[in-house]
């Protein structure tokens, strides 16, 4: 499953081609992916201009001039590639090897990117857990995919203050609270482990302990907010650099996963300066949590 930084990197990689382009036509090569495509999917897009490309949680959103939003989710194995006269690249192709077999090219957007230039954006998905749909913009906030989503962890909304408000009175373990998509949207297991380690906070600590009795953030809450953002930004930067370096089309990059400080490092020495701890694994809500029992409390 792609994590938020990968989806963000895909968005940034597609935006220069997709934004402002006119969709000349769409090849929809199957009736369904994980779900059926909506009625008249291709014809509702043909002839329309893409006003903006954005992201909410792990959904990519293309605002179309007709007023529809093209909602795209990569599922487990979905990927995009961009082709034009001179360039072929696969935005966000940094964490997983991507499939290149054209028999899994399920959707092709034929674009006019300027008066004299065309491009194609191709969606490939061998396992077909991804999906695409069209939702009228005014219905987005109430749609089942979006109505219960919490705040975005990137950007200035996430702060010690907001964590204090979200976690006040919560008895659940801190890690579970951070993974609760109704509180914070799109934060995944890897990045929660990393941010907790950077903050010196135990994943098993009671979430409500980051809020003082008067409802203010503790110092640790302030630090955690900063570390969540930094962890995600570091991952996006790593994806971005692999994008720039991605002149070969073989797709196996994976720079960032080698730089995890705690995730998947059970039994290894803690990398925190001066800490003599060993990274341990525990299971919370059926998911592996990696942490240092010495410097995280």
Nearer to Zn ion, 44 or 272 (CB): 272
Interface characters, 240-279, with Zn ion (x: CB under 5 A): ------------------------------x-x--x-x--
Q: Is 201 in the site for Zn ion (CB under 5 A)?
A: no
Catalytic one of 5, 8, 11, 58: 58
Nearest to 7, CA basis, from 108, 142, 130, 106: 130
User: Does residue 138 carry a catalytic annotation?
Assistant: no
Catalytic one of 22, 204, 287, 293: 287
Catalytic one of 2, 153, 203, 217: 2
User: Does residue 3 carry a catalytic annotation?
Assistant: yes
Closest distance to Zn ion from the beta carbon of 190 (Å) = 18
Closest distance to Zn ion from the beta carbon of 222 (Å) = 21
User: Does residue 58 carry a catalytic annotation?
Assistant: yes
Going from the C-alpha of 43 to that of each of 30, 46, 94, 136, 255, the distances in angstroms are 15, 5, 33, 15, 39
Nearer to Zn ion, 229 or 271 (CB): 271
Nearer to Zn ion, 133 or 199 (CB): 199
Determine the Cα–Cα distance for residues 78 and 291; give it in Å rounded to an integer: 30
Nearer to Zn ion, 42 or 282 (CB): 282
Q: Is 295 in the site for Zn ion (CB under 5 A)?
A: yes
- For residue 64, the SS3 value is strand
Q: Is 126 in the site for Zn ion (CB under 5 A)?
A: no
Determine the Cα–Cα distance for residues 271 and 275; give it in Å rounded to an integer: 7
Closest distance to Zn ion from the beta carbon of 209 (Å) = 20
Alpha-carbon radius of gyration of the chain: 21
Nearer to Zn ion, 16 or 200 (CB): 200
Closest distance to Zn ion from the beta carbon of 294 (Å) = 5
User: Does residue 220 carry a catalytic annotation?
Assistant: no
Q: Is 292 in the site for Zn ion (CB under 5 A)?
A: yes
Closest distance to Zn ion from the beta carbon of 172 (Å) = 24
Helices within the chain (DSSP H only) = 4-18, 41-45, 160-167, 174-179, 189-199, 219-245
User: What is the chain's percent helix, strand, coil content, to nearest 5?
Assistant: 30, 25, 45
Determine the Cα–Cα distance for residues 75 and 107; give it in Å rounded to an integer: 15
Nearer to Zn ion, 205 or 272 (CB): 272
Closest distance to Zn ion from the beta carbon of 153 (Å) = 24
Going from the C-alpha of 185 to that of each of 95, 105, 131, 191, 200, the distances in angstroms are 20, 29, 19, 13, 23
Determine the Cα–Cα distance for residues 65 and 60; give it in Å rounded to an integer: 16
Check if the beta carbon of residue 275 is closer than 8 Å to that of residue 295: yes
Q: Is 122 in the site for Zn ion (CB under 5 A)?
A: no
Q: Is 137 in the site for Zn ion (CB under 5 A)?
A: no
Site residues, Zn ion (CB under 5 A)? 270, 272, 275, 277, 292, 294-295
Active site members = 2-3, 58, 287
């Amino acid at each position: 499953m792609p994590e938020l930084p990968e989806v963000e990197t895909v968005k940034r990689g597609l935006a220069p081609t997709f934004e402002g382009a006119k969709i000349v036509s769409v090849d929809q090569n199957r009736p369904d992916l994980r779900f059926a495509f909506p009625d008249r999917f291709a014809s509702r897009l043909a002839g329309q201009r893409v006003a903006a490309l954005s992201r909410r949680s792990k959904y990519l959103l293309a605002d179309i001039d007709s007023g529809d939003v093209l909602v795209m989710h990569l599922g487990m194995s979905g990927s995009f590639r961009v082709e034009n006269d001179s360039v072929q690249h696969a935005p966000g192709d940094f964490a997983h090897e991507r499939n290149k077999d054209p028999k899994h090219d399920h959707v092709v957007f034929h674009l006019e990117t300027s008066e004299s230039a065309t491009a194609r954006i191709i969606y490939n998905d061998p396992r077909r857990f991804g999906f695409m749909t069209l939702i009228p913009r005014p219905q987005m906030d109430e749609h089942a995919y979006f109505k219960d989503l919490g705040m975005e962890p990137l950007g200035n909304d996430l702060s010690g203050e907001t964590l204090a408000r979200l976690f006040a009175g919560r008895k659940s373990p801190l890690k579970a609270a951070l993974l609760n998509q109704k509180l914070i949207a799109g934060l995944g297991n890897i990045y929660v482990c990393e941010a907790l380690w950077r903050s010196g906070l135990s994943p098993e600590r009671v979430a409500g302990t980051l809020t003082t009795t008067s409802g203010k953030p503790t110092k640790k809450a302030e630090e955690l907010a900063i570390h969540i953002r930094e962890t995600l930004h570091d991952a996006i930067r790593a994806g971005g650099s692999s994008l720039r370096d991605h002149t070969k089309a073989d797709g196996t990059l994976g720079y960032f996963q080698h730089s995890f400080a705690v995730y998947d490092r059970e039994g290894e020495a803690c990398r925190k300066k001066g800490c003599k701890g060993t990274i341990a694994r525990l299971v919370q809500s059926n998911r592996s949590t990696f942490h240092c029992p010495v410097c995280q409390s």
